[in-house]
Structure 1
């Protein structure tokens, strides 16, 4: 029992979590659990407006908060530079950001603009590759990288639209990063939560209907919590998951098996 708790502990590990928006964000759920398991954290949010809301959350975890808009030149580089000041290593990274222009998100994928599609892909997918590259020189020998996806990557989900192809690309990116970074000992995964009422999800049309469907059809007959998402992420970055990489793992009450 003692050995198992040591394997799942994050004591002595240092993590970078990007994408805090408020206390309802998946990034916050991951940060809370990681901190409770002993991790030292560096957190980031998109802009100064968001920082007003999440600064008190970061203070609760005694974690520095850094503003980082991944669309801005050198923003990710500055984030990693600050996170690794004084030669500090990174044991895990959790990437929890996604965005698409509402006009493109709410329309048919076939009608999406090239500009909107490219921005959604850059922010939601390619930023993970850029972050991995920037962190690579600073990663510990058994580091882990985690990103967030959704069932709409594998299936055509009503009203998920443009984000479906973007998340599909993200899941593919995970497999390629796992292959490329594996020889150095780095593990890479995608976590696929069921629908949870986050600020980002509120931009989807009829998101309440999506949540109701998940409650009714998921084998567990309920939505998952932020803590449950955080617990999966914490397991994946712990030593207990040392033999796993390149996977998309669902935490959705089983909804993906019946949808």
Structure 2
């Protein structure tokens, strides 16, 4: 069987065969969203990607052919209402040629977040109004705005997934205003799940443990922190892209057809721990 025949076979038999979805937030090969996209494509999904920066767009142009098919690419600044409004129409119509009806969108991966590095370094109490507003707009409202734009095009069994982090519910050193934003994001996902549920759309959150991505470069003591987290996790290791992508596939496929409004942790169990052997007061 040739490579083309193998690809065709997967696209007809995979868990996401015949499904079409949009991925937001890929910057480069280290992006969690890219690892998720690779797994979704391997299960037969037809993908579209948005980008904001020219560098991300150029990287996607080079990288997406590896996924097979003909992935759609489109620029979208999630802080621009006009670009958000056109997003759904542009992506939905990209496969309309020869279709008897308007194509539907079966899933969305929202992996968009931004916090100004200088603001993060200053601590939450020193966060400026502008820095707070920009972080909330990029990291939280972007999910709501994307849902508004794409809702008319969602299929009857659509699934929406957004990414979070433990800093949403615990104080994680250096996370600061991003932790506040992630808390708001998770709350927004629950409200959206309740609102969209009657229409068959599910909304869930994947809270991933720390990984080596572009966002972590330059963070103080990141390597030491990563090693400590691994030692203190019940599984005794760090997570990897495959861990996250597998859970994303579950949440975006019919395997999780009865799951919505949930925050699912992929962190080797770290979030369940309260104390550790050897801590002061441990018995």
TM bucket normalised to smaller: over 0.9
Q: CA deviation at 1:152?
A: 0.4
Matched, 1:13 2:19: yes
Deviation digits for residues 141-195 of structure 1, max 9, x if unmatched? 0101100000000101111111111000000001000011001010000100000
2:137 to 107, 110, 122: 122
Number of the residue aligned with 1:3: none
Matched, 1:172 2:187: yes
Number of the residue aligned with 1:67: 75
1:156 to 171, 176, 180: 171
* CA distance 1:241–1:75, shift in 2 (3 Å): same
1:244 to 259, 262, 273: 259
Q: Unaligned regions of 5+ residues in structure 2, if any?
A: 1-11, 97-101, 275-283
Q: CA deviation at 1:135?
A: 0.9
Deviates more, 1:145-154 or 1:227-236: 227-236
Matched, 1:34 2:40: yes
Across the two proteins, how many residue pairs are aligned to each other? 254
**Structure 2: distance between partners of 1:204 and 1:67:** 28
Judge conservation of contact 1:98–1:120 (CA < 8 Å) in 2: yes
Runs of 4+ in 1 over 4 A off after TM superposition: none
Higher-Rg structure is 2
Judge conservation of contact 1:47–1:68 (CA < 8 Å) in 2: no
> Which structure carries more relative contact order (alpha carbon 8 Å, separation 6+)?
1
SS at match of 1:195: coil
1:54 to 60, 64, 74: 60
Q: CA deviation at 1:7?
A: 10
Judge conservation of contact 2:14–2:44 (CA < 8 Å) in 1: no
Aligned-residue Cα RMSD (Å) equals: 1.7
Judge conservation of contact 1:7–1:238 (CA < 8 Å) in 2: no
* CA distance 1:159–1:7, shift in 2 (3 Å): farther
Matched, 1:81 2:89: yes
Judge conservation of contact 1:22–1:53 (CA < 8 Å) in 2: yes
Judge conservation of contact 2:157–2:202 (CA < 8 Å) in 1: yes
1:130-141 equivalent positions in 2, closer than 5 A: 130-141=145-156
* CA distance 1:218–1:8, shift in 2 (3 Å): farther
Matched, 1:147 2:155: no
Deviation digits for residues 202-250 of structure 1, max 9, x if unmatched? 3644332331221111111211111221111111111111111000000
**Structure 2: distance between partners of 1:36 and 1:13:** 12
Matched, 1:220 2:228: no
TM-score (norm 2): 0.86
Number of the residue aligned with 2:128: 113
**Structure 1: distance between partners of 2:111 and 2:217:** 15
Q: CA deviation at 1:47?
A: 1.6
Deviation digits for residues 62-98 of structure 1, max 9, x if unmatched? 3122122212342222222211113221000000011
TM-score (norm 1): 0.93
Judge conservation of contact 2:78–2:145 (CA < 8 Å) in 1: no
